[in-house]
Chain A
Amino acid sequence: MDTETIQFIKESAPHLRRKDSLVRMLLDVVIALMPVTVFAFIAWPLGALKNVLISVAVMEIAELVFVLVTHPMPIDLKKHSLIERIKYGLTSYRLSNFLAALVSALIFALILPASTSWYALMIGAAAGITFGKLLFGGTGNNLFNPAAVGMVFAKVCFGSSMYYTAPFAGVGEVIASPTYLAGGQYSILDLFIGNVPGTIGETCKIAILIGLVYLLVRRAADWKVVLTYLLTFALLTLAGGLTVTLPRGGNIPTYGEWVLSHLLSGGFLFGAVFMVTDPVTMPITTPSRVHYAMSAAIAAFFIRHFAALPEGVGYGILIANCLAPLFDYPKWSSEEWKKKDIIIASLLPALSIAIVIWAVFAGGFDL
Chain B
Amino acid sequence: MIAKTTTIENTRNLLEILPTIDIGEPEDIFIAMENARCPKAELTIKEGDHVLLYQVIGMRYGPFFNQPIHSTVSGTFVGYEKHLHRSGKMVNFAHIKNDFKDEEDKSVTFERTPEEIAKLTREEIMEIARDRASAGLGGSSFPTYVKFDTKGRKINTILINGIECEPYITADKRMMVEHAENVINGIKLMQQAFGTKDARLCVKKKYKDIIAIYNMFLSEMPDSGITVCPVGNFYPQGWEIAMIKSATGISVPSGHLPSEYGIVNFNVSTVAGLYESVRYNRPIVERYVSVTGDGIKYPGNFSIRNGTPMKYILEKCGGYTHPEKKKVFILGGPMMGASLPSDDCICTKTVTSIIVLNHDEIKEENCIRCGSCVLSCPVHLKPVQIMNAVKAMDKDMIKALEPLKCIECGLCAYSCTSKIQVTDYVRRAKVIAKL
Contact = CB atoms under 8 A, between A and B. Distances in A.
Interface of A: 1-3, 5-22, 24-25, 94, 96, 138-141, 218-222, 279-280, 282, 284-286, 289, 328, 330-331, 333-336
Contact of A8 (B328, B370, B414, B427): B328
30 contacts: A2-B323, A3-B343, A8-B326, A8-B328, A8-B339, A9-B327, A11-B328, A11-B339, A12-B421, A12-B423, A13-B339, A14-B414, A15-B330, A15-B339, A16-B12, A16-B335, A18-B9, A20-B415, A25-B368, A138-B366, A140-B369, A221-B2, A222-B371, A279-B368, A284-B374, A286-B371, A286-B375, A328-B385, A330-B389, A330-B401
A17 B341 contact: no
Nearest to A137: B366
Contact of B380 (A18, A330, A334): A334
Nearest to A331: B400
Contacts of A7: 326-327
A8 B332 CA distance: 16
B370 A25 contact: yes
Nearest to B315: A1
A137 to B, nearest CB: 8
Interface stretch (B17-25, B114-122, B272-280, B355-363): B355-363
A18 B1 CA distance: 10
A14 B423 contact: yes
B385 A330 contact: yes
Given A3-B314, A16-B334, A330-B397, A25 B1 contact: yes
B382 A330 contact: yes
Nearest to A329: B385
B9 A13 contact: no
Nearest to A324: B369
A41 B251 CA distance: 57
Contacts of A289: 371
A8 B167 CA distance: 23
A211 to B, nearest CB: 16
Given A3-B319, A8-B342, 8 more contacts: A9-B327, A15-B330, A15-B357, A16-B11, A22-B417, A280-B368, A284-B384, A330-B385
Nearest to B5: A18
Contacts of A279: 2, 368-371
Contact of A284 (B311, B326, B382): B382
Nearest to B419: A17
A335 B414 contact: no
Contacts of B338: 13
Contacts of A140: 365-369, 418
A1 B421 CA distance: 34
Contacts of B385: 284, 328, 330
Interface in B381-408: 382, 384-385, 389, 397, 400-401, 408
Nearest to B322: A6
A284 B422 CA distance: 15
Shortest 8 CB-CB contacts between residues of A and residues of B: A14-B410, A140-B366, A22-B365, A1-B319, A14-B335, A330-B385, A219-B3, A219-B1
Main secondary structure of the interface of A (DSSP, over half): loop
Nearest to A24: B1
B368 A220 contact: no
Contacts of A21: 365, 417-419
Contacts of B96: none
B329 interface: yes
B430 to A, nearest CB: 13
B343 A139 contact: no
Given A3-B319, A5-B323, A8-B329, A17 B370 contact: no
B258 interface: no
Contact of A22 (B11, B329, B368, B377): B368
Contacts of A328: 385
A336 B12 CA distance: 33
B429 to A, nearest CB: 12
B409 to A, nearest CB: 8
B320 A6 contact: yes
B340 interface: yes
B2 A330 contact: no
A7 to B, nearest CB: 5
B26 to A, nearest CB: 15
B186 to A, nearest CB: 30
B211 interface: no
B337 interface: yes
A222 B368 CA distance: 13
Interface string B11-47: 1100000000000000000000000000000000000
A279 B11 CA distance: 26
The CB with the most chain B CB atoms within 10 A, among A20, A218, A219, A334, is that of: A20
Contacts of A16: 8-9, 11-12, 167, 334-335, 414
The CB with the most chain A CB atoms within 10 A, among B2, B9, B327, is that of: B2
A219 B370 CA distance: 10
Contact of B339 (A10, A25, A282, A330): A10
Contacts of A219: 1-3
Contact of A330 (B341, B343, B363, B400): B400
B379 to A, nearest CB: 10
Contact of B336 (A13, A19, A22): A13
B414 A17 contact: yes
A233 to B, nearest CB: 21
Given A17-B11, A140-B366, A335-B380, A12 B1 contact: no
Contacts of B8: 16
